[in-house]
Amino acid sequence: MAQKMAAGNWKMNGLKTDLAEVRTLLGESKPSVDVLLCPASPLLGAMSTLCDGTWIKTGGQDCHASPSGAHTGDVSAAMLADAGASYVILGHSERRADHGEPDALIKAKAEAALAAGLTPIVCVGETEAQRDAGDTLAVVAGQLAGSLPDVSGVVIAYEPVWAIGTGRTPTLAQIGEVHDAIRASAVARFGAAGDDIPLLYGGSVKPGNATDIFAVSNVDGALVGGASLKAADFGAIIAALDAA
Ligand code: PGA
């Protein structure tokens, strides 16, 4: 059985003053599910210090595939770990689109993350045109084949590109179809260990739809963007997962 996880992706949002939201969240009692917040790199150290010893873990939003070197503007997995992170989001569709990241690079980053002791959260998901063309499962299978590392110590996030930040979500049946396919592919690739990989759904998860989404088969949690910025919303999503 995979561990349940509510992960928040703050994207390019969040200043030191916004740590007040994290303090508010920490005022809630400890849930039984894993909770993770991934701020932008400048805030990671301060957030990790605030969360050290609490039930909130922290992660990065990307890392370089190399351990160090002449890569201006990039951060290594070891730097994220040094700042207190235990996870890193990789292959988010915004990185695939904005930075042209191909599957092979995401796999190299995932291997670098594992080498630094971080758990990679590898993101996959189809565009609207790919869904309309009936290619969703093939696209996701291809992304998994190309971007997962060769070991099972990962989290996988299914995030349909067209559902991210749009307020639109797939039907529960559509989410279930993709998550079942991802689970089957993880088990085919990693054996029984594939059953233990947390599969997160991401894309416009809100307090109002979280309970329904968490009831879908093979959904072990969520990767939450906008609704993770406010303690009240993210707290409600965590509570929904805890109750699922
Ligand atoms: P959203 O983003 O919850 O704002 O749709 C999800 C994500 O991109 O991880």
pLDDT given for residue 137 in this prediction: 98
Question: What number of other Cβ atoms are within 10 A of residue 137's Cβ?
Answer: 15
Q: Note the pLDDT tens digit of each residue in 109-159.
A: 999 999 999 999 999 999 999 999 999 999 999 999 999 999 999 999 999
Q: Note the pLDDT tens digit of each residue in 179-206.
A: 999 999 999 999 999 999 999 999 999 9
What confidence tier does 61 reach under pLDDT thresholds 50, 70, 90? very high
How far from chain centre, in Å, is Cα 26? 20
The mean pLDDT value for 54-75 works out to: 98
Active site residue 92: yes
What CA–CA distance (Å, rounded) separates 126 from 42?
Answer: 30
Q: Under DSSP, is residue 22 helix (H, G, I), strand (E, B) or coil?
A: helix
Test site for ligand 1: of 62, 224, 228, most ligand atoms within 8 A of the Cβ:
224
**Separation of 21 CA from ligand 1 center, angstroms?**
18
What confidence tier does 101 reach under pLDDT thresholds 50, 70, 90? very high
pLDDT given for residue 18 in this prediction: 98
What confidence tier does 98 reach under pLDDT thresholds 50, 70, 90? very high
Q: Note the pLDDT tens digit of each residue in 203-223.
A: 999 999 999 999 999 999 999
User: Closest ligand 1 atom to the C-alpha of 9?
Assistant: 9
Active site residue 126: no
pLDDT given for residue 26 in this prediction: 97
Residue 55, burial from CB neighbour count under 10 angstroms (0-12, 13-18, 19+): middle
Q: Under DSSP, is residue 233 helix (H, G, I), strand (E, B) or coil?
A: helix
Asked whether the beta carbons of 33 and 60 are under 8 A apart, the reply is no
Q: Under DSSP, is residue 125 helix (H, G, I), strand (E, B) or coil?
A: coil
For ligand 1, is residue 8 a contact (CB within 6 Å)? no
User: Closest ligand 1 atom to the C-alpha of 166?
Assistant: 5
